[in-house]
Structure 1
Amino acid sequence: MQIVIIGSGNVAYHLAKAFKKSGVEVSQIFGRNATELSKISEELHIPFSTETLAEADLYIISVSDSSIAEVSALIKKENCLVAHTSGSVSREALAGNYRKSVFYPLQTFSKSKKLDYHKIPFFIDAENEEDAEILKNLASKISKNVMLADNKKRKYIHLTAVFACNFVNHLFARAKEISDSQNIPFEYFLPLIDETTQKIHELEPKLAQTGPAVRGDNRILELHEQLITDEEKLKIYKTLNESIKKMYS
Protein backbone atom coordinates (compact mmCIF):
# COMPACT_ATOMS: atom_id res chain seq x y z
CA MET A 1 0.00 0.00 0.00
CA GLN A 2 1.37 3.39 -1.06
CA ILE A 3 1.15 5.91 1.81
CA VAL A 4 1.63 9.69 1.63
CA ILE A 5 1.68 11.90 4.71
CA ILE A 6 0.57 15.50 4.19
CA GLY A 7 1.97 17.95 6.72
CA SER A 8 5.29 18.93 8.27
CA GLY A 9 4.35 19.52 11.91
CA ASN A 10 4.79 17.45 15.05
CA VAL A 11 2.12 14.84 14.30
CA ALA A 12 3.27 14.34 10.71
CA TYR A 13 6.87 13.93 11.86
CA HIS A 14 6.08 11.40 14.58
CA LEU A 15 3.73 9.39 12.34
CA ALA A 16 6.41 9.18 9.68
CA LYS A 17 8.96 8.16 12.31
CA ALA A 18 6.62 5.57 13.85
CA PHE A 19 5.92 4.04 10.44
CA LYS A 20 9.63 3.97 9.64
CA LYS A 21 10.45 2.19 12.91
CA SER A 22 7.66 -0.33 12.30
CA GLY A 23 8.75 -1.16 8.77
CA VAL A 24 5.84 0.62 7.07
CA GLU A 25 6.99 2.40 3.91
CA VAL A 26 5.94 6.01 3.39
CA SER A 27 6.22 7.03 -0.27
CA GLN A 28 6.24 10.78 0.31
CA ILE A 29 5.74 13.58 2.78
CA PHE A 30 4.04 16.60 1.23
CA GLY A 31 3.41 20.14 2.43
CA ARG A 32 4.21 23.83 2.13
CA ASN A 33 7.07 24.17 4.60
CA ALA A 34 10.13 23.11 2.60
CA THR A 35 12.49 23.68 5.54
CA GLU A 36 10.65 21.33 7.91
CA LEU A 37 9.92 18.79 5.20
CA SER A 38 13.59 18.62 4.23
CA LYS A 39 14.56 18.00 7.88
CA ILE A 40 12.09 15.11 8.15
CA SER A 41 13.20 13.76 4.78
CA GLU A 42 16.87 13.87 5.70
CA GLU A 43 16.32 12.14 9.05
CA LEU A 44 13.90 9.46 7.89
CA HIS A 45 14.99 9.08 4.26
CA ILE A 46 11.53 9.74 2.87
CA PRO A 47 11.08 11.76 -0.36
CA PHE A 48 9.31 15.09 0.05
CA SER A 49 7.66 17.67 -2.17
CA THR A 50 6.02 21.07 -1.85
CA GLU A 51 4.66 20.99 -5.40
CA THR A 52 3.68 17.55 -6.70
CA LEU A 53 1.51 15.24 -4.63
CA ALA A 54 2.47 11.63 -5.30
CA GLU A 55 -0.03 8.90 -6.21
CA ALA A 56 -1.06 6.86 -3.18
CA ASP A 57 -3.59 4.36 -1.86
CA LEU A 58 -3.75 6.17 1.49
CA TYR A 59 -3.23 9.85 2.23
CA ILE A 60 -2.86 10.83 5.90
CA ILE A 61 -3.49 14.54 6.51
CA SER A 62 -1.73 15.92 9.59
CA VAL A 63 -2.41 19.64 9.54
CA SER A 64 -4.27 22.11 11.78
CA ASP A 65 -8.01 21.50 12.14
CA SER A 66 -8.83 24.71 10.29
CA SER A 67 -6.73 23.63 7.28
CA ILE A 68 -8.10 20.11 6.82
CA ALA A 69 -10.80 20.99 4.28
CA GLU A 70 -8.50 23.18 2.18
CA VAL A 71 -5.62 20.70 2.18
CA SER A 72 -7.82 17.68 1.51
CA ALA A 73 -9.16 19.38 -1.64
CA LEU A 74 -5.67 19.01 -3.13
CA ILE A 75 -6.21 15.25 -3.43
CA LYS A 76 -7.74 14.66 -6.86
CA LYS A 77 -7.41 10.89 -7.00
CA GLU A 78 -10.82 9.23 -6.77
CA ASN A 79 -11.63 6.21 -4.63
CA CYS A 80 -8.40 6.34 -2.66
CA LEU A 81 -8.52 6.31 1.15
CA VAL A 82 -7.94 9.64 2.90
CA ALA A 83 -7.63 10.07 6.68
CA HIS A 84 -7.06 13.11 8.85
CA THR A 85 -5.52 12.91 12.32
CA SER A 86 -7.77 15.32 14.25
CA GLY A 87 -9.67 14.37 17.37
CA SER A 88 -12.41 16.98 17.02
CA VAL A 89 -13.13 17.14 13.28
CA SER A 90 -15.50 14.74 11.52
CA ARG A 91 -14.39 12.77 8.50
CA GLU A 92 -17.00 14.69 6.47
CA ALA A 93 -14.69 17.73 6.66
CA LEU A 94 -12.53 16.04 4.03
CA ALA A 95 -13.34 17.68 0.69
CA GLY A 96 -13.01 15.24 -2.19
CA ASN A 97 -14.43 12.30 -4.10
CA TYR A 98 -12.65 9.58 -2.14
CA ARG A 99 -13.17 7.29 0.88
CA LYS A 100 -13.04 9.42 4.02
CA SER A 101 -11.71 8.37 7.41
CA VAL A 102 -9.94 9.39 10.61
CA PHE A 103 -6.63 8.13 12.01
CA TYR A 104 -6.36 9.88 15.39
CA PRO A 105 -3.34 9.31 17.68
CA LEU A 106 -4.02 10.33 21.29
CA GLN A 107 -0.78 11.93 22.43
CA THR A 108 0.91 15.29 22.86
CA PHE A 109 3.63 15.59 20.23
CA SER A 110 6.86 17.59 20.22
CA LYS A 111 9.53 16.92 17.62
CA SER A 112 12.35 17.04 20.16
CA LYS A 113 10.72 14.49 22.50
CA LYS A 114 11.18 10.77 21.97
CA LEU A 115 8.02 8.68 22.33
CA ASP A 116 7.18 5.03 22.85
CA TYR A 117 4.83 4.66 19.89
CA HIS A 118 3.54 1.29 21.04
CA LYS A 119 1.81 2.98 23.99
CA ILE A 120 0.00 5.64 21.94
CA PRO A 121 -3.73 4.85 21.48
CA PHE A 122 -5.12 5.22 17.95
CA PHE A 123 -8.80 5.88 17.27
CA ILE A 124 -10.20 4.89 13.89
CA ASP A 125 -13.30 6.08 12.04
CA ALA A 126 -14.21 5.12 8.48
CA GLU A 127 -17.18 5.00 6.11
CA ASN A 128 -17.16 1.21 5.88
CA GLU A 129 -15.84 -1.84 7.72
CA GLU A 130 -13.25 -2.65 5.06
CA ASP A 131 -11.55 0.74 5.38
CA ALA A 132 -11.79 0.56 9.15
CA GLU A 133 -9.94 -2.76 9.05
CA ILE A 134 -7.24 -1.31 6.77
CA LEU A 135 -6.61 1.52 9.21
CA LYS A 136 -6.84 -0.72 12.28
CA ASN A 137 -4.25 -3.07 10.79
CA LEU A 138 -1.99 -0.14 9.95
CA ALA A 139 -2.30 1.38 13.44
CA SER A 140 -1.66 -2.04 15.00
CA LYS A 141 1.79 -2.07 13.40
CA ILE A 142 2.59 1.02 15.48
CA SER A 143 0.49 0.67 18.62
CA LYS A 144 -0.89 -1.95 20.99
CA ASN A 145 -3.99 0.17 21.65
CA VAL A 146 -6.32 0.61 18.68
CA MET A 147 -10.09 1.07 18.75
CA LEU A 148 -12.97 2.41 16.68
CA ALA A 149 -14.41 5.79 17.66
CA ASP A 150 -17.05 7.73 15.75
CA ASN A 151 -17.10 11.52 15.63
CA LYS A 152 -19.15 11.95 18.82
CA LYS A 153 -16.89 9.66 20.84
CA ARG A 154 -13.73 11.33 19.47
CA LYS A 155 -15.00 14.74 20.56
CA TYR A 156 -15.28 13.47 24.12
CA ILE A 157 -11.87 11.79 23.85
CA HIS A 158 -10.36 15.10 22.76
CA LEU A 159 -12.20 17.02 25.49
CA THR A 160 -10.87 14.59 28.10
CA ALA A 161 -7.38 15.01 26.65
CA VAL A 162 -7.60 18.80 26.98
CA PHE A 163 -8.44 18.47 30.68
CA ALA A 164 -5.83 15.76 31.31
CA CYS A 165 -3.00 17.27 29.26
CA ASN A 166 -3.38 20.86 28.11
CA PHE A 167 -4.91 22.22 31.30
CA VAL A 168 -2.49 20.30 33.51
CA ASN A 169 0.49 21.55 31.52
CA HIS A 170 -0.83 25.11 31.80
CA LEU A 171 -0.89 24.68 35.57
CA PHE A 172 2.74 23.51 35.42
CA ALA A 173 3.58 26.73 33.56
CA ARG A 174 1.72 28.86 36.13
CA ALA A 175 3.39 26.96 38.98
CA LYS A 176 6.80 27.67 37.43
CA GLU A 177 5.96 31.38 37.33
CA ILE A 178 5.39 31.28 41.08
CA SER A 179 8.57 29.33 41.83
CA ASP A 180 10.59 31.59 39.51
CA SER A 181 9.25 34.68 41.28
CA GLN A 182 10.73 33.39 44.54
CA ASN A 183 13.97 32.03 43.01
CA ILE A 184 12.99 28.45 43.82
CA PRO A 185 14.29 25.97 41.19
CA PHE A 186 11.30 24.41 39.45
CA GLU A 187 13.33 21.20 39.13
CA TYR A 188 12.72 20.67 42.86
CA PHE A 189 9.03 20.11 42.06
CA LEU A 190 9.64 17.46 39.38
CA PRO A 191 9.70 14.49 41.82
CA LEU A 192 6.30 15.66 43.14
CA ILE A 193 4.93 15.99 39.61
CA ASP A 194 6.31 12.56 38.64
CA GLU A 195 4.77 10.92 41.71
CA THR A 196 1.42 12.63 41.07
CA THR A 197 1.20 11.40 37.49
CA GLN A 198 2.56 7.95 38.33
CA LYS A 199 0.07 7.49 41.17
CA ILE A 200 -2.95 7.52 38.84
CA HIS A 201 -1.57 4.44 37.09
CA GLU A 202 -2.55 2.60 40.28
CA LEU A 203 -5.34 4.71 41.81
CA GLU A 204 -8.45 6.37 40.45
CA PRO A 205 -7.67 10.11 40.18
CA LYS A 206 -10.45 10.89 42.62
CA LEU A 207 -8.88 8.56 45.21
CA ALA A 208 -5.41 10.04 44.64
CA GLN A 209 -6.44 13.63 45.43
CA THR A 210 -4.57 15.33 48.26
CA GLY A 211 -4.17 18.95 49.40
CA PRO A 212 -5.88 21.55 51.59
CA ALA A 213 -9.15 21.72 49.60
CA VAL A 214 -9.92 18.00 49.90
CA ARG A 215 -9.03 18.19 53.62
CA GLY A 216 -11.22 21.25 54.09
CA ASP A 217 -8.27 23.19 55.51
CA ASN A 218 -9.63 26.73 55.01
CA ARG A 219 -6.79 28.30 57.01
CA ILE A 220 -4.23 27.17 54.43
CA LEU A 221 -6.52 28.13 51.52
CA GLU A 222 -6.87 31.65 52.89
CA LEU A 223 -3.12 31.92 53.49
CA HIS A 224 -2.41 30.92 49.89
CA GLU A 225 -4.95 33.42 48.59
CA GLN A 226 -3.17 36.18 50.50
CA LEU A 227 0.13 35.21 48.86
CA ILE A 228 -1.24 35.37 45.32
CA THR A 229 -0.98 38.91 43.96
CA ASP A 230 -1.84 38.10 40.34
CA GLU A 231 -5.61 38.19 39.70
CA GLU A 232 -5.50 35.51 37.02
CA LYS A 233 -3.67 33.04 39.27
CA LEU A 234 -6.01 33.85 42.17
CA LYS A 235 -9.01 33.13 39.96
CA ILE A 236 -7.52 29.79 38.90
CA TYR A 237 -6.68 28.92 42.51
CA LYS A 238 -10.19 29.67 43.80
CA THR A 239 -11.96 27.96 40.89
CA LEU A 240 -10.00 24.73 41.20
CA ASN A 241 -10.36 24.61 44.98
CA GLU A 242 -14.12 25.10 44.69
CA SER A 243 -14.27 22.28 42.16
CA ILE A 244 -12.29 19.99 44.49
CA LYS A 245 -14.55 20.86 47.44
CA LYS A 246 -17.69 20.06 45.44
CA MET A 247 -16.29 16.72 44.31
CA TYR A 248 -15.59 15.64 47.88
CA SER A 249 -18.51 17.25 49.69
Structure 2
Amino acid sequence: MISVILLGAGNVATHLYKAFSNADNVSVKQWYNRRRSSISSFANDVEITDSLNELKEADLYIMAVSDDSIAEFSSALPFTNRLVVHTSGSVAMHDIDKKNQIGVFYPLQSFTKGAEINFSEVPICVEVYEKENLELLRDLARAVGCKPHKITTEQRQTLHLAAVFVNNFTNQLYRIGHEICETKNIEFEILHPLIEETAKKVQQMSPFMAQTGPAKRNDKRTIKRQLKLIEKDEHEAIYKMLTSSIKKTHNVLSRSMKQVKR
Protein backbone atom coordinates (compact mmCIF):
# COMPACT_ATOMS: atom_id res chain seq x y z
CA MET A 1 0.00 0.00 0.00
CA ILE A 2 1.38 3.40 -1.04
CA SER A 3 0.56 6.11 1.48
CA VAL A 4 0.08 9.58 0.03
CA ILE A 5 -0.48 13.04 1.46
CA LEU A 6 -2.01 15.60 -0.88
CA LEU A 7 -0.97 19.23 -0.57
CA GLY A 8 -3.29 21.71 -2.28
CA ALA A 9 -6.93 21.78 -3.30
CA GLY A 10 -7.09 22.80 -6.97
CA ASN A 11 -8.40 20.80 -9.92
CA VAL A 12 -5.34 18.54 -10.14
CA ALA A 13 -5.43 17.70 -6.42
CA THR A 14 -9.15 16.95 -6.54
CA HIS A 15 -8.86 14.66 -9.54
CA LEU A 16 -5.83 12.90 -8.03
CA TYR A 17 -7.73 12.35 -4.80
CA LYS A 18 -10.61 10.71 -6.66
CA ALA A 19 -8.21 8.51 -8.65
CA PHE A 20 -6.23 7.48 -5.56
CA SER A 21 -9.45 6.77 -3.63
CA ASN A 22 -10.52 4.30 -6.31
CA ALA A 23 -7.16 2.52 -6.36
CA ASP A 24 -6.82 -0.70 -4.35
CA ASN A 25 -3.24 -0.17 -3.19
CA VAL A 26 -3.13 3.61 -2.57
CA SER A 27 -4.10 5.25 0.68
CA VAL A 28 -4.62 9.01 0.91
CA LYS A 29 -3.47 9.41 4.49
CA GLN A 30 -4.13 13.13 4.73
CA TRP A 31 -5.15 16.13 2.65
CA TYR A 32 -3.77 19.58 3.42
CA ASN A 33 -4.90 22.97 2.24
CA ARG A 34 -4.31 26.36 3.83
CA ARG A 35 -8.05 27.04 3.53
CA ARG A 36 -9.73 24.13 5.23
CA SER A 37 -13.09 25.11 3.77
CA SER A 38 -11.87 24.22 0.26
CA ILE A 39 -11.64 20.52 1.17
CA SER A 40 -14.20 20.35 3.98
CA SER A 41 -16.65 18.43 1.77
CA PHE A 42 -14.18 15.48 1.85
CA ALA A 43 -13.82 15.48 5.64
CA ASN A 44 -15.94 12.34 6.04
CA ASP A 45 -13.71 10.39 3.65
CA VAL A 46 -10.17 11.55 4.45
CA GLU A 47 -8.39 13.34 7.26
CA ILE A 48 -8.06 17.00 6.34
CA THR A 49 -5.88 19.71 7.85
CA ASP A 50 -4.92 23.34 7.35
CA SER A 51 -1.74 23.08 9.43
CA LEU A 52 1.60 21.97 7.99
CA ASN A 53 2.71 21.05 11.51
CA GLU A 54 -0.02 18.40 11.65
CA LEU A 55 1.23 16.54 8.58
CA LYS A 56 1.81 12.85 9.22
CA GLU A 57 4.51 10.60 7.83
CA ALA A 58 3.80 9.03 4.44
CA ASP A 59 5.56 7.41 1.49
CA LEU A 60 4.92 10.41 -0.70
CA TYR A 61 3.87 14.07 -0.44
CA ILE A 62 2.31 15.48 -3.61
CA MET A 63 2.31 19.25 -4.01
CA ALA A 64 -0.58 20.11 -6.31
CA VAL A 65 -0.17 23.85 -5.85
CA SER A 66 0.31 26.76 -8.27
CA ASP A 67 3.61 26.85 -10.16
CA ASP A 68 4.68 30.09 -8.52
CA SER A 69 4.13 28.61 -5.04
CA ILE A 70 6.18 25.43 -5.38
CA ALA A 71 9.57 26.71 -4.20
CA GLU A 72 8.23 28.69 -1.23
CA PHE A 73 5.74 26.00 -0.22
CA SER A 74 8.34 23.22 -0.29
CA SER A 75 10.62 25.34 1.90
CA ALA A 76 7.85 25.69 4.46
CA LEU A 77 7.37 21.95 4.91
CA PRO A 78 8.34 21.11 8.53
CA PHE A 79 10.25 17.89 7.84
CA THR A 80 13.31 16.61 5.98
CA ASN A 81 14.45 13.62 3.93
CA ARG A 82 10.94 12.61 2.80
CA LEU A 83 9.85 12.20 -0.81
CA VAL A 84 8.16 15.39 -2.04
CA VAL A 85 7.01 15.84 -5.65
CA HIS A 86 5.17 18.48 -7.60
CA THR A 87 2.65 18.03 -10.42
CA SER A 88 3.68 20.91 -12.69
CA GLY A 89 4.52 20.59 -16.37
CA SER A 90 6.74 23.65 -16.51
CA VAL A 91 8.51 24.01 -13.14
CA ALA A 92 11.97 22.47 -12.74
CA MET A 93 12.26 19.57 -10.31
CA HIS A 94 15.08 21.40 -8.53
CA ASP A 95 12.74 24.21 -7.53
CA ILE A 96 11.69 21.90 -4.69
CA ASP A 97 13.66 22.51 -1.51
CA LYS A 98 16.59 20.05 -1.29
CA LYS A 99 16.00 19.34 2.40
CA ASN A 100 13.73 16.58 1.15
CA GLN A 101 14.01 13.94 -1.58
CA ILE A 102 12.52 15.43 -4.71
CA GLY A 103 10.65 14.41 -7.84
CA VAL A 104 7.84 15.14 -10.28
CA PHE A 105 4.52 13.35 -10.81
CA TYR A 106 3.02 15.19 -13.80
CA PRO A 107 -0.31 13.99 -15.20
CA LEU A 108 -0.41 15.24 -18.79
CA GLN A 109 -4.07 16.12 -19.06
CA SER A 110 -6.42 19.09 -18.89
CA PHE A 111 -8.25 19.13 -15.56
CA THR A 112 -11.51 21.05 -15.28
CA LYS A 113 -13.71 21.17 -12.22
CA GLY A 114 -16.80 18.99 -12.73
CA ALA A 115 -15.40 17.16 -15.77
CA GLU A 116 -14.77 13.45 -15.21
CA ILE A 117 -11.34 12.06 -16.11
CA ASN A 118 -10.56 8.49 -17.10
CA PHE A 119 -7.13 8.14 -15.51
CA SER A 120 -6.37 4.97 -17.45
CA GLU A 121 -5.94 7.25 -20.48
CA VAL A 122 -3.73 9.83 -18.73
CA PRO A 123 0.04 9.65 -19.29
CA ILE A 124 2.01 10.28 -16.09
CA CYS A 125 5.45 11.84 -16.54
CA VAL A 126 7.77 10.97 -13.66
CA GLU A 127 11.13 12.43 -12.72
CA VAL A 128 13.30 11.82 -9.67
CA TYR A 129 16.60 13.03 -8.29
CA GLU A 130 17.23 9.93 -6.15
CA LYS A 131 17.00 6.91 -8.47
CA GLU A 132 15.63 4.67 -5.72
CA ASN A 133 12.37 6.66 -5.79
CA LEU A 134 11.61 6.02 -9.44
CA GLU A 135 9.78 2.73 -8.95
CA LEU A 136 7.53 4.21 -6.26
CA LEU A 137 6.29 6.90 -8.66
CA ARG A 138 5.90 4.34 -11.43
CA ASP A 139 3.94 2.06 -9.11
CA LEU A 140 1.69 4.95 -8.08
CA ALA A 141 0.94 5.76 -11.72
CA ARG A 142 0.16 2.12 -12.47
CA ALA A 143 -2.04 1.89 -9.36
CA VAL A 144 -4.48 4.37 -10.91
CA GLY A 145 -4.30 2.68 -14.32
CA CYS A 146 -1.87 5.13 -15.94
CA LYS A 147 1.19 4.49 -18.05
CA PRO A 148 4.27 6.10 -16.44
CA HIS A 149 6.86 7.83 -18.62
CA LYS A 150 10.33 8.56 -17.23
CA ILE A 151 11.42 11.88 -18.72
CA THR A 152 13.82 14.73 -18.07
CA THR A 153 12.91 18.25 -16.98
CA GLU A 154 13.64 19.55 -20.48
CA GLN A 155 11.41 16.90 -22.07
CA ARG A 156 8.60 17.61 -19.60
CA GLN A 157 8.76 21.36 -20.18
CA THR A 158 8.76 20.78 -23.94
CA LEU A 159 5.74 18.49 -23.61
CA HIS A 160 3.98 21.17 -21.60
CA LEU A 161 4.70 23.72 -24.33
CA ALA A 162 3.31 21.34 -26.97
CA ALA A 163 0.28 20.77 -24.74
CA VAL A 164 -0.42 24.50 -24.63
CA PHE A 165 -0.59 24.50 -28.43
CA VAL A 166 -2.74 21.38 -28.84
CA ASN A 167 -5.02 22.04 -25.87
CA ASN A 168 -5.15 25.63 -24.63
CA PHE A 169 -4.72 27.34 -27.99
CA THR A 170 -7.01 24.86 -29.72
CA ASN A 171 -9.68 25.47 -27.11
CA GLN A 172 -9.41 29.22 -27.74
CA LEU A 173 -10.00 28.52 -31.43
CA TYR A 174 -13.10 26.56 -30.40
CA ARG A 175 -14.19 29.62 -28.47
CA ILE A 176 -13.71 31.84 -31.54
CA GLY A 177 -15.66 29.36 -33.66
CA HIS A 178 -18.41 29.38 -31.03
CA GLU A 179 -18.49 33.19 -31.09
CA ILE A 180 -18.65 33.29 -34.90
CA CYS A 181 -21.58 30.84 -34.85
CA GLU A 182 -23.39 32.95 -32.26
CA THR A 183 -23.27 36.04 -34.49
CA LYS A 184 -25.54 34.25 -37.01
CA ASN A 185 -27.61 32.23 -34.48
CA ILE A 186 -25.98 28.95 -35.51
CA GLU A 187 -25.78 26.09 -33.00
CA PHE A 188 -22.12 25.35 -32.21
CA GLU A 189 -23.09 21.70 -31.67
CA ILE A 190 -23.29 21.30 -35.45
CA LEU A 191 -19.47 21.43 -35.42
CA HIS A 192 -19.07 18.70 -32.78
CA PRO A 193 -18.73 15.80 -35.27
CA LEU A 194 -16.02 17.74 -37.13
CA ILE A 195 -14.13 18.40 -33.90
CA GLU A 196 -14.36 14.73 -32.92
CA GLU A 197 -13.25 13.51 -36.36
CA THR A 198 -10.22 15.81 -36.36
CA ALA A 199 -9.21 14.58 -32.90
CA LYS A 200 -9.55 10.95 -34.04
CA LYS A 201 -7.66 11.54 -37.25
CA VAL A 202 -4.47 12.84 -35.59
CA GLN A 203 -4.36 9.64 -33.55
CA GLN A 204 -4.17 7.63 -36.75
CA MET A 205 -1.91 9.82 -38.87
CA SER A 206 0.43 12.76 -38.43
CA PRO A 207 -1.08 16.27 -38.13
CA PHE A 208 0.83 17.13 -41.33
CA MET A 209 -1.00 14.41 -43.27
CA ALA A 210 -4.35 15.22 -41.62
CA GLN A 211 -4.32 18.90 -42.67
CA THR A 212 -7.11 19.99 -45.02
CA GLY A 213 -8.77 23.30 -45.89
CA PRO A 214 -8.39 26.36 -48.10
CA ALA A 215 -4.93 27.34 -46.78
CA LYS A 216 -3.41 23.98 -47.69
CA ARG A 217 -5.08 24.08 -51.10
CA ASN A 218 -4.09 27.73 -51.55
CA ASP A 219 -7.74 28.42 -52.36
CA LYS A 220 -7.40 32.18 -52.63
CA ARG A 221 -11.04 32.84 -53.47
CA THR A 222 -12.33 31.01 -50.41
CA ILE A 223 -9.76 32.68 -48.17
CA LYS A 224 -10.77 36.10 -49.52
CA ARG A 225 -14.48 35.38 -49.00
CA GLN A 226 -13.91 34.17 -45.44
CA LEU A 227 -11.83 37.20 -44.53
CA LYS A 228 -14.77 39.39 -45.61
CA LEU A 229 -17.07 37.43 -43.28
CA ILE A 230 -14.91 38.01 -40.21
CA GLU A 231 -16.23 40.84 -38.08
CA LYS A 232 -13.49 41.23 -35.44
CA ASP A 233 -9.98 42.47 -36.14
CA GLU A 234 -8.57 39.99 -33.61
CA HIS A 235 -10.20 37.06 -35.40
CA GLU A 236 -8.94 38.34 -38.76
CA ALA A 237 -5.38 38.56 -37.45
CA ILE A 238 -5.55 34.97 -36.13
CA TYR A 239 -7.05 33.72 -39.40
CA LYS A 240 -4.28 35.36 -41.44
CA MET A 241 -1.52 34.14 -39.13
CA LEU A 242 -2.71 30.52 -39.15
CA THR A 243 -3.37 30.58 -42.89
CA SER A 244 0.19 31.79 -43.47
CA SER A 245 1.54 29.11 -41.11
CA ILE A 246 -0.34 26.32 -42.93
CA LYS A 247 0.85 27.60 -46.29
CA LYS A 248 4.46 27.62 -45.14
CA THR A 249 4.13 24.15 -43.62
CA HIS A 250 2.81 22.75 -46.87
CA ASN A 251 5.03 24.87 -49.13
CA VAL A 252 2.04 26.45 -50.85
CA LEU A 253 3.74 29.81 -51.10
CA SER A 254 6.88 28.45 -52.72
CA ARG A 255 4.90 26.29 -55.13
CA SER A 256 2.78 29.30 -56.13
CA MET A 257 5.88 31.40 -56.76
CA LYS A 258 7.38 28.66 -58.91
CA GLN A 259 4.20 28.49 -60.99
CA VAL A 260 4.22 32.27 -61.47
CA LYS A 261 7.84 32.17 -62.64
CA ARG A 262 6.99 29.47 -65.16
TM value normalised by structure 1? 0.95
Give the aligned length.
247
Does the residue aligned with 1:224 lie in a helix, a strand or coil?
A: helix
Alignment of 1:114-125 (within 5 A): 114-125=116-127
Distance 2:136 2:56 in 1: 20
Distance 2:244 2:6 in 1: 45
| Alpha carbons 2:102, 2:130 under 8 Å: kept | no
Deviations 1:162-196 (A, max 9, x none): 11101100100111111111111111111111111
Match of 2:57 among 44, 55, 58: 55
Q: Which letter maps to 1:186?
A: F
Higher alpha-carbon deviation: 142-151 or 98-107: 142-151
Alignment of 1:16-95 (within 5 A): 16-23=17-24, 24-42=26-44, 45-51=45-51, 52-95=54-97
Distance 1:154 1:19 in 2: 23
Q: Counterpart in 1 of 2:13?
A: 12
Distance 2:13 2:63 in 1: 8
Greater radius of gyration (CA): 2
Q: Which letter maps to 1:25?
A: S
The structural deviation recorded for 1:121 is 0.3
Q: Counterpart in 2 of 1:138?
A: 140
| Alpha carbons 2:104, 2:126 under 8 Å: kept | yes
Higher alpha-carbon deviation: 141-150 or 32-41: 32-41
The structural deviation recorded for 1:143 is 3.2
Distance 2:55 2:128 in 1: 23
Does the residue aligned with 2:225 lie in a helix, a strand or coil?
A: helix
| Alpha carbons 1:57, 1:81 under 8 Å: kept | yes
- Is 2:224 the partner of 1:218? no
- Is 2:156 the partner of 1:148? no
Does the residue aligned with 2:76 lie in a helix, a strand or coil?
A: coil
The structural deviation recorded for 1:142 is 1.6
Q: Counterpart in 2 of 1:112?
A: 114
The structural deviation recorded for 1:229 is 2.1
Q: Counterpart in 1 of 2:260?
A: none
Does the residue aligned with 2:5 lie in a helix, a strand or coil?
A: strand
Alignment of 1:128-207 (within 5 A): 128-207=130-209
- Relative distance call for 1:219 and 1:40 in structure 2 (3 A) is farther
Match of 1:234 among 233, 236, 241: 236
The structural deviation recorded for 1:128 is 2.1
The structural deviation recorded for 1:92 is 1.0
Deviations 1:92-133 (A, max 9, x none): 111251101100000000121111101100011101221111
- Relative distance call for 1:188 and 1:33 in structure 2 (3 A) is farther
Q: Which letter maps to 1:244?
A: I
Distance 2:41 2:72 in 1: 24
Higher alpha-carbon deviation: 32-41 or 146-155: 32-41
Distance 1:64 1:7 in 2: 9
Distance 2:130 2:136 in 1: 10
| Alpha carbons 1:76, 1:96 under 8 Å: kept | no
- Relative distance call for 1:138 and 1:203 in structure 2 (3 A) is same
Percent identical among aligned pairs is 39
Does the residue aligned with 2:113 lie in a helix, a strand or coil?
A: coil
Note the residue ranges of structure 2 that are not aligned, 5 or more in a row.
252-262
Deviations 1:53-102 (A, max 9, x none): 33323110001100111221222211110000001111111125110110
Q: Which of structure 1's runs of 4+ aligned residues deviate more than 3 A?
A: none
Does the residue aligned with 2:186 lie in a helix, a strand or coil?
A: coil
| Alpha carbons 1:7, 1:30 under 8 Å: kept | yes
